[in-house]
Chains A and B, each alone.
Chain A
């Protein structure tokens, strides 16, 4: 399984994402620059956190028009796995690959600490390793992680089981305590907390590891069942 970590000017969690793949599952992983126009070689695309384009205008608003994003949309359409973390989540919502948007934290403070998340949907390819309702410790680091969508979208998210994680103790004012969601099909996931920063007990938590092992398992299940041996 081959991973791409997108790199925008201002990405600063790209190395963490790369290392998380390398250290937790040891699958091949490449940095892919925002000007790239071909992602066909990759099975999973990680859109890392940071401050792409300085977050000028709005978080993710400018990056959404980077050449590589057309390829990300194509990959999403093809059913490839895409995970946007923090700024990556903001970029995916701006690109319309995930519904809603991220607003300024209710407290107006930049929040940088561990949070407890509840796994609301463990049937998603990124979360099959977790137990339903499992509480996990994953850090956050953001100023604009206050998830918002309109009522109709919210109803749809609930109906389709697209709410993947909720905060236990809402740190930013997110609607319905939402910490992470998926698209309708489930192959595109966005979350404000950083699972790539929780892959070793030295970092304070290993709870993020299961997202990487889950996605590898999902990919293997899909591909091994398709191949004749």
Chain B
């Protein structure tokens, strides 16, 4: 079993309105040091394989096809096990 952890975030060049709202909330609470907030998605996938290279290629494919919309989102992932 390999565990894949996938992170999907809005591209730096694209405004993240949720992040801006949360940043505003943090500022109003006194956390003025917060320069920016980006909100994204976190996904854990359990893969029924032990082949790391294969898992890497497959997860990349999953990200490109479904998990991220590459028009506005970036993704990265980590494999464990």
Contacts and interface: CB of A to CB of B under 8 A. Distances in A.
A101 to B, nearest CB: 4
A58 interface: yes
Where chain B touches its partner, the secondary structure class is: mixed
B72 A104 contact: no
A103 B66 contact: no
Interface string B38-64: 000100000000000000000000000
B7 to A, nearest CB: 14
B17 A173 contact: yes
Nearest to B66: A61
Interface residues of A, number: 20
A148 interface: yes
Contact of B72 (A57, A101, A108): A101
Contacts of B17: 103-108, 146, 173
B71 interface: yes
Given A108-B17, A108-B21, A173-B17, A103 B72 contact: yes
B29 interface: no
A104 B66 CA distance: 18
Contacts of B67: 57
Given A57-B66, A61-B66, A65-B66, A104 B71 contact: no
A101 B10 CA distance: 12
Nearest to A100: B71
Contacts of B69: 58, 61, 94, 101
Contacts of B21: 108
Contacts of B71: 93, 100-101, 148-150
Contacts of B72: 101, 103, 148
Interface of B: 14-15, 17-18, 21, 41, 66-67, 69, 71-72
Instruction: Identify the 3 closest CB pairs spanning chains A and B, nearest first.
Output: A101-B71, A104-B17, A106-B17
Interface of A: 57-58, 61-62, 65, 93-94, 100-101, 103-108, 146, 148-150, 173
29 contacts: A57-B66, A57-B67, A58-B69, A61-B66, A61-B69, A62-B66, A65-B66, A94-B69, A100-B71, A101-B71, A101-B72, A103-B14, A103-B17, A103-B72, A104-B18, A105-B17, A106-B17, A107-B17, A108-B17, A108-B18, A108-B21, A146-B17, A148-B14, A148-B71, A148-B72, A149-B71, A150-B71, A173-B15, A173-B17
